[in-house]
């Protein structure tokens, strides 16, 4: 297995916050791509009605995930939670105890690596 850390965060867009959400999503995607080389995947997906959002994130390792978490907490957490209601977090890969603790507020389901590969 590898040292990657991944998660899928499912969110609901709060009523009346659609424009705020879309602006924040674009801002976060741009900043993450520009400033976080350890972020391997950072993909937002929306349901056809625009109300449900999936955020797929994959990091080179726990250290890179923690860098992202620190930036999120400093710059985006308040606006993110004002516009979005988290409904489910599934955590994959090889997260450190520190990553698990950082995500504990989202009550993640932790999936243990069982078989397969990543390229």
- Note the pLDDT tens digit of each residue in 17-37: 999 999 999 999 999 999 999
pLDDT at position 1 is 58
Question: Is residue 94 a contact partner of residue 3, using CB atoms and an 8 Å limit?
Answer: yes
Q: What is the pTM of this model?
A: 0.94
pLDDT at position 61 is 97
pLDDT < 70 regions, the chain? 1
pLDDT at position 73 is 96
Closest CA to 36 of 74, 64, 76: 64
pLDDT at position 91 is 98
pLDDT at position 19 is 96
Closest CA to 71 of 21, 34, 100, 40: 34
All domains of the chain in start order, with CATH: 5-110 (3.30.70.100)
Write the CA distances from 29 to 35, 68, 69, 72, 79, integer angstroms: 10, 11, 14, 11, 14
Burial class of 38 by CB neighbour count within 10 A (0 to 12, 13 to 18, 19+): middle
Q: How many CA atoms lie within 13 A of 116 on its CB side?
A: 7
């Amino acid at each position: 297995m590898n040292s990657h850390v991944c998660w899928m965060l499912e969110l609901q867009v709060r009523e009346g916050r659609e424009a705020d959400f879309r602006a924040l999503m674009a801002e976060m995607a741009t900043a993450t791509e520009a400033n976080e080389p350890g972020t391997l995947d950072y993909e937002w997906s929306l349901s056809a009605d625009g109300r449900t959002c999936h955020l797929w994130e994959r990091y080179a390792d726990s250290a890179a995930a923690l860098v992202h978490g620190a930036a999120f907490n400093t710059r985006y957490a308040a606006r993110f939670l004002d516009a979005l209601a988290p409904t489910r977090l599934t955590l994959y890969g090889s997260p450190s105890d520190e990553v698990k603790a950082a995500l504990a507020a989202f009550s993640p389901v932790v999936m243990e690596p069982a078989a397969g590969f990543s390229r």
